[in-house]
Amino acid sequence: MEVNVENPRFFRRVRLSKPFLESDVFINVPTLKTHASCGITVAIKNMYGLIPPEDRVLYHALNRVEEAIIDLYKVKRADLIVVDGTYTTFHLGPTLRGL
């Protein structure tokens, strides 16, 4: 579902799933993750998984991932964030994979 972003950082419209947008409560439960460009992402980039894959590719191609995440949070913020630290992942990021 495409929605308008109020006071956007970059994207005036973003696509998110209808059930997510219509939910009463949003509880974000990410695993603890690392990332080469920002150290740890915790719950920040977990929201990125809610957008369609083709939009993720576009945001990366435009080099606007950070702005996309800000605009996604402007549409709907988490009511509660619980970080699972029992399992962690290490990510090199999209530009460093395969090295």
| pTM of the predicted model over 0.85 | no
pLDDT digits (tens, 9 = 90+) for 33-61: 776 766 777 777 788 888 899 998 888 88
Please give the Cα distance from 31 to 94 (Å, whole number): 19
- Residue 1 · residue 17 · CB < 8 Å: yes
Domain boundaries defined on the chain: 2-91
Give the C-alpha separation, 85 to 74, whole Å: 26
**pLDDT band of 94, cuts 50, 70, 90:** low
What average pLDDT does this structure show over 90-95?
57
Q: Is the pLDDT of residue 2 over 80?
A: yes
Q: Are the C-beta atoms of 76 and 21 separated by less than 8 Å? A: yes
pLDDT digits (tens, 9 = 90+) for 6-19: 999 999 999 998 99
DSSP state, residue 30: P
